[in-house]
Amino acid sequence: MPSQPVAPSRMVHVACIMDGNGRWANRRNLPRTEGHTEGEENLARLVRVAVKRNVGWLTVFGFSTENWVRPRGEVRHILGLHKKLFGRVAELNELNVRIQWMGRPFDSPEARTPKYVQRAIRKAIRDTAGNTGMVLTVAFDYGSHAELVHAAQRAAQQGPVDEAAIERNLYLPELPRVDVLVRTSGELRISNFMLWQSAGSEVYFTEKPWPEFDAAELDAALLLVR
Ligand code: IPE
Ligand code: IPE
Ligand code: MG
């Protein structure tokens, strides 16, 4: 038996709820912010592994519509990390990865993404638009309920609201269905992440906190779908 998954027959979509940064830091007597910093570094490492494993679509939950109530300093730190993440254009280009974002549209009244993060997001999307390899989608200021309300409202303006109409009006209609949904750090919850897109997906729960979600973990998740 090969120790790694064999070449895929089709492009797999892995979606990760990146949880447990705070606990990772607590266990080391570090501030929670250090956990988020390490979580962002780990995402950069995991992108590399996912490309090697021929993953087609990697979607990650970076910040939810519910996360804005966290302490202001923690939120500010996480915002800075998203600016850093979307600034990794050279790495993404080297890996032929195209980056995308999904969340409450910047021009909607409820949107909370600050301007400087919006700029980083727009620039990264533009500067990686020509890449043809893995698609990395970062969910930021994202909540599935907000997405489905948005989709339903738009669908209703277009005609009869059926499943196809909802799908056409999701934030990123071109995202394929999720094949495997991952959640780290031992929580057995979905927390308002891609409820529509993961209706039929496998789920992989692990005790490991996000900063420790490594190649072996990704392989274990991929085994569920390959
Ligand atoms: C995930 O780690 C990152 C975000 C939700 C932004 P947490 O910050 O939720 O870490 P725990 O769950 O407190 O350990
Ligand atoms: C889910 O993690 C959101 C992200 C990973 C961005 P949370 O830590 O916010 O989820 P709950 O509150 O424990 O459900
Ligand atoms: Mg958490």
pLDDT tens digits, 28-67: 999 999 999 999 999 999 999 999 999 999 999 999 999 9
Closest CA to ligand 1's atom 12: 20
Residue 181's pLDDT is: 98
Query: In the chain, which residues have pLDDT < 50?
Result: 1-3, 5-8
Distance CA 211, CA 155 (A): 39
- In the reported structure, the alpha carbon of residue 19 is separated from the centroid of ligand 2 by a whole-number distance in angstroms of 6
Residue 6's pLDDT is: 46
Query: What are the two backbone dihedrals, phi and then psi, of residue 54, each rounded to the nearest 5 degrees?
Result: 65, 30
- In the reported structure, the alpha carbon of residue 21 is separated from the centroid of ligand 1 by a whole-number distance in angstroms of 5
Average per-residue pLDDT in the chain?
Answer: 96
**Two structure tokens written together for 95:** 């890996």
Query: What are the two backbone dihedrals, phi and then psi, of residue 216, each rounded to the nearest 5 degrees?
Result: -65, -35
Distance CA 70, CA 85 (A): 20
Residue 10: other Cβ atoms inside 10 A? 10
Reported pTM: 0.96
CA distances from 191 to 45, 70, 88, 211, 217 (A): 24, 15, 27, 19, 21
- In the reported structure, the alpha carbon of residue 11 is separated from the centroid of ligand 1 by a whole-number distance in angstroms of 29
| Cβ(204)–Cβ(181) below 8 Å | yes
* Alpha-carbon radius of gyration of the chain: 17
Nearest atom in ligand 2 to the alpha carbon of residue 139 is 6
Closest CA to ligand 2's atom 9: 67
Nearest atom in ligand 1 to the alpha carbon of residue 187 is 12
Residue 174: other Cβ atoms inside 10 A? 8
Residue 54's pLDDT is: 97
The verdict on the CB of residue 82 being under 6 Å from ligand 1 is no
Residue 8's pLDDT is: 47
The verdict on the CB of residue 20 being under 6 Å from ligand 1 is yes
Residue 1's pLDDT is: 46
Residue 184's pLDDT is: 98
**Two structure tokens written together for 107:** 């021009």
Residue 52's pLDDT is: 98
Residue 27's pLDDT is: 98
The verdict on the CB of residue 23 being under 6 Å from ligand 1 is yes
